[in-house]
Amino acid sequence: MTNELAQRAQELRQLIFKTIYWAGGGHIPSSLSIAEILVVLYFRFLRVDPQDPHAQDRDRFILSKGHAGVALFSVLAMKGFFDRKLLASACHLGSPLGGHPDMVKVPGVDASTGSLGHGFPYGAGIAFAGKQDQKDYKVYCLLGDGECQEGSVWEAAIFAAQHKLDNLVAITDYNKLQAIDFLDNVGSLSPLADKWKAFGWEVVEVNGHDTEDISCALKKVPFKKGKPSMVIAHTVKGKGISFMENAPIWHYRMPNTEELKIALKDLQLSEEDLKSL
């Protein structure tokens, strides 16, 4: 299973890169850092049916860091929510796929995100509704670490703990970078786990690129009955493309011809592979 998931993560990285290449631009490093998290969720935990994307009792996945939308589109295509050829249309006129996910347009997307600090409270609302309606679905919500600088994240943290939303599972993509710099140089969140604990959450820290580690944590949710769960996933922004890893400048930038060659090699793609999705 672990090998299979690691392979899927590699495939997802290739799809992400190819999709953004075809789109002509996008958030590559922010998408690459969550590859393992997404494949573990979609191929191991989420109870979702690509044939029935609006099923009322389905688990929800909210990509609160909506700028990694291409990663979500790619994993949805891998899961069969739509034909992966659709990825080639992203950001082109007439496509339902853009730079950020839109739940009205894209099957499998549970929330339209893009503006940070929205998806998480929105997901808390779905979790709250689930409790009220006595449903047994879970809501998984992936947050960016920079996103946790938004006040609304902490408003929702208070709300979720207050209402004992143990059906809410948040995952922080803790890659320590935001758009133009390291968090520690801008608005440090350290110590992040202590912050969430202080807000009434149960916290587990994992290696966000180790599918087994992520799985072990998610198997145990809720970490404590009556409390919301937070998985802090330590990740590397740009993971998988050597020159993008931990390099702030790549947040929204496309490689030049020379850099492209390196990126393809890093992702085990040929130039021929790049021609089709």
Per CB under 8 A, does 108 bind another protein?
A: no
Judge contact between 140 and 217, C-beta under 8 A. Answer: no
Residue placing its CB nearer to another protein in the complex, 153 or 263? 153
Separation CA 27–CA 108 (nearest Å):
20
Cis peptide before 222 (omega within 30 of 0): yes
Per CB under 8 A, does 158 bind another protein?
A: yes
Residue placing its CB nearer to another protein in the complex, 154 or 223? 154
Task: Report, in Å, the least distance between residue 57 CB and another protein.
Answer: 10
Task: Report, in Å, the least distance between residue 108 CB and another protein.
Answer: 14
Choices 81-89, 108-116, 244-252, 266-274; region in contact with another protein by CB under 8 A: 108-116
Separation CA 137–CA 60 (nearest Å):
8
Per CB under 8 A, does 182 bind another protein?
A: no
Select from 118, 176, 237, 251 the one that contacts another protein (CB under 8 A).
118
Task: Report, in Å, the least distance between residue 237 CB and another protein.
Answer: 25
User: Which letter, b or e, does each residue of 84-119 get, where b requires 16 or more Cβ atoms within 10 Å of its Cβ?
Assistant: bebbbbbbeeeebbbbbbbbeebbbbbbbbbebbbb
Separation CA 151–CA 69 (nearest Å):
22
Per CB under 8 A, does 59 bind another protein?
A: no
Binding mask 78-107 vs another protein (x if CB under 8 A, - otherwise)? -------------------------xx---
Q: 70 — alpha (psi -120 to 50), left (phi > 0) or beta?
A: alpha
Residue 95, classed as helix, strand or coil, is coil
DSSP H helices, 88-150, are 119-132
Per CB under 8 A, does 161 bind another protein?
A: no
Binding site for another protein (CB under 8 A): 56, 103-104, 110-112, 114-115, 117-118, 120-130, 132-133, 151-152, 155-156, 158-159
